[in-house]
Amino acid sequence: KEVRVKERAFVCYPQEGVCRMDVAGERASMASLTEEQALELARIAIRLEEHYGGPQDVEGAIGPDGCAYVLQCRPLQQMEPSGQEVLDRQWESSARVLLAWGATASPGVGAGPVFKVEKDADLLRFPQGAVLVSHQALPRWAAVLSRASAVVTEQGSVTGHLANVAREFRVPALMGLSKAMAVLEQGKIVTVDGEARRVYEGRVRELLEQAAVGPPMMEGSPVHSTLRAVMAHVTPLNLIDPDSPFFRPERCQTLHDITRFAHEKSVEEMFNFGKLHRFPERTSKQLLCDVPMQWWVLDLEDGFLGEVEGRFVRLEQIRSIPMLALWEGITAVPWEGPPPVDARGFMSVMVQATANPALDPSMQSPYANRNYFMISRNYCSLNSRFGFHFSGVETLVGERPPENYIGFQFKGGAADFPRRVARAVFVADILRGHGFRAEVKEDAVFARLDGGEQAIMCQRLRLLGYLIIHTRQLDMVMTNPASFNRQREKILMDLERLRSGSPRNHVRADSSS
């Protein structure tokens, strides 16, 4: 038997709930189960397979009383090739083998055009009957399996969530096929043989005709019928306009309404910070870099090196790891002012300014141009407004990668709605290219990065600091290809220099920012 080293354990306490604890010494090398417990789980699994007449996907647990409990049991559509003859069989078709081997996550044969999925936005464009090809077998790809004819991934486990869902929907799936993203061309027709673990060029009729295709396992089952009934109370969205007088909690009719309302109000609270909370006026410190700046810093615990007297705090008095990384990105490259705007872009801004009172500078509150950092040594929350766009960053960066995260939100703008949306898409694409999960909702971007090493997280925070400064007023040129391409090339070049540690300049942020 093989006993793996376990560095962490999860313990359920009556008051605190589930807590993670570090495990060291001999305990880390001890078996989690006794031999008797392992044998008992094996006996239960065998009885379940005998009862249901086939392999089962079983999840179990050992209770406080030492007894084994079955948490879940469902049919396991396995997957192992039915024999060496499957791999050795020859088809009369002259179809070329593009990829071979890997691991069978779900048996069967499927054919269709290759569609590569790299980001969440690709799921919205996934066509019916396509072959899903991706680097990783991410759980969220399961949302389109009802439309997929097959799945091919470079990485992934046959016991993972995507593999389980593929088996439930009887979608052929191969995982662990290295170079799949490079070899399989977007839009090209391929045939995936889950049992033989091969991907063929074109549509191999012999395989498709001999493959037994049945209805999806879930369709028509009691579980499927129950889920369809429940969906009526989950997915419909009735609260659409946050500015409507009917956008109220008592108007929530579905779970989607509740999450929409909670999300909108939380974002509203975040961007109204400073107007609705008075404590920053008394306890926050204004950042001083030679001259006072429009940045205020609130020390939550140990973000300052020591006690800071007076109204101002200098950068060298701050020890917050994530804030200093953000600030480095904010000041890495001087902002050269707004991009040149053509007549259409200028008129777009003028129309917005006259139609939306919130964009009238004379209507701004004393808080409109203040930017707030709330910090500790490993934590930072930034709420900022630059011109007509708003940004929020919340991050925890320390020596424990599993606990590290970055959350980023970006919205607003002075141009018309299509230009603001185009800018949001541009920003989201940059973030996805640097490992963020990014989602665009209208003119807003919501992005998150989890679990990176401290150096990686700090590098990503420098990127966010740069984007916060250098994407302001970019929306005004989004429909002018020449102007946008110039700005795009400049931003990408700056980001590459920033990533490599050689930005063009390192200057302080404008005190009027």
Residue 108: which CATH number? 3.50.30.10
Q: What angle do CA 57, 146, 421 make, to 5 degrees?
A: 120
In a domain, 252, yes or no: no
Residues 49 and 113 grouped into a single domain:
no
Residues 41 and 114 grouped into a single domain:
no
Residues with Cβ within 8 Å of 348's Cβ and at least 6 positions away in sequence, in order, are 415, 416, 419, 476
Closest by Cα among 151, 178, 175, 477 to 342 = 477
Per-residue model confidence (pLDDT) at position 221:
66
Residues 65 and 89 grouped into a single domain:
no
In a domain, 217, yes or no: no
Q: How far apart are CA 110 and CA 203, in angstroms?
A: 9
Q: Which residue has 């759980």 as its token pair?
A: 139
CA distances from 485 to 79, 339, 474, 478 (A): 49, 11, 11, 9
Please provide residue 220's backbone torsions phi and psi, each rounded to the nearest 5 degrees.
85, -5
Contact 410, 391 (CB under 8 A): yes
Residues 100 and 39 grouped into a single domain:
no
Closest by Cα among 108, 164, 165, 99 to 133 = 99
In a domain, 223, yes or no: no
Q: Considering 159, 189, 210, which residue would you say is the last residue of a domain?
A: 210
Residues 363 and 464 grouped into a single domain:
yes
Residues 420 and 305 grouped into a single domain:
yes
Per-position pLDDT tens, the chain of length 513: 667 677 778 787 776 677 778 887 788 888 888 888 889 988 999 999 999 888 888 888 888 888 889 988 877 655 444 444 444 454 445 689 999 989 999 999 999 999 999 888 888 889 999 999 999 898 889 889 989 999 999 988 887 789 888 988 889 999 999 899 999 999 999 999 998 999 999 999 888 887 755 555 566 667 778 888 898 888 887 887 777 788 899 999 999 889 888 877 875 665 455 445 544 444 678 888 766 677 889 888 899 998 888 888 999 999 999 999 999 998 888 766 555 444 444 344 333 433 333 333 333 333 345 688 999 999 999 988 766 678 899 999 999 888 899 999 988 765 667 777 888 888 898 898 888 988 888 788 999 998 889 999 999 999 999 988 888 766 555 556 667 677 778 888 888 887 776 544 444 454 444
In a domain, 172, yes or no: yes
Q: Considering 210, 229, 247, which residue would you say is the last residue of a domain?
A: 210
CA R_g for the chain: 28
In a domain, 235, yes or no: no
Enter the pTM of the model.
0.46
Q: What is the DSSP string of 56-90?
A: EEEEEEE-TTS-EEEEEEEE----S-S-HHHHH--
Per-residue model confidence (pLDDT) at position 513:
40
Residues 356 and 445 grouped into a single domain:
yes
The kind and range of the H/E element at 3 are none
Residues 460 and 333 grouped into a single domain:
yes
Residues 494 and 389 grouped into a single domain:
yes
Per-residue model confidence (pLDDT) at position 152:
97
Q: Considering 179, 210, 241, which residue would you say is the last residue of a domain?
A: 210
Q: Which residue has 């699994």 as its token pair?
A: 45
Per-residue model confidence (pLDDT) at position 506:
45
The total domain count for the chain is 4
Residues 161 and 43 grouped into a single domain:
no
Residues 102 and 190 grouped into a single domain:
yes
Task: Give the HSE-up count for residue 183: Cα atoms under 13 Å, Cβ half-sphere.
Answer: 17
In a domain, 151, yes or no: yes
Q: Which domain holds residue 159?
A: 84-210
In a domain, 92, yes or no: yes
In a domain, 275, yes or no: no
Residues 470 and 323 grouped into a single domain:
yes
